[in-house]
Amino acid sequence: MTGLSKMKVVLLSYTRDADEICAAAGRSCYSEKPADEIIGTGNPEKTLNSIVGMGHYSVIEHAVFTFSVSGVSRSLTHQLVRHRVASFSQQSQRYVSLNKPDYVTPHTIADDPEISEIYKKAMEDIWDVYSKLSEKVPVEDARYILPNGCTTNITITMNARELLHFFALRCCERAQWEIREMAEEMLRLCKEVSPTIFRDAGPPCVTGPCPEGEKSCGHPKRVKKH
Ligand SMILES: Cc1cc2nc3c(=O)[nH]c(=O)nc-3n(C[C@H](O)[C@H](O)[C@H](O)COP(=O)(O)OP(=O)(O)OC[C@H]3O[C@@H](n4cnc5c(N)ncnc54)[C@H](O)[C@@H]3O)c2cc1C
DSSP letter at 187?
A: H
Give the gyration radius of the chain's Cα atoms: 21
pLDDT in tens, 102-160: 999 999 999 999 999 999 999 999 999 999 999 999 999 999 999 999 999 999 999 99
Question: What is the CATH number assigned to the segment(s) 8-89+152-225?
Answer: 3.30.1360.170
Q: What pTM, to 2 d.p., does this model score?
A: 0.93
Ligand 1: centre distance to CA 82 (Å) = 6
DSSP string, 65-93: EEEEEEEEEHHHHHHHTT--SSEEEE--T
Q: Any residues with Cβ below 6 Å from ligand 1, and which?
A: 82-85, 162, 165, 169-170, 174-175
Distance CA 190, CA 185 (A): 9
Tell me if residue 188 is catalytic.
no
- Report the pLDDT averaged over residues 162-180: 96
What residue ranges of the chain are covered by domains with CATH 3.30.1360.170? Answer: 8-89+152-225
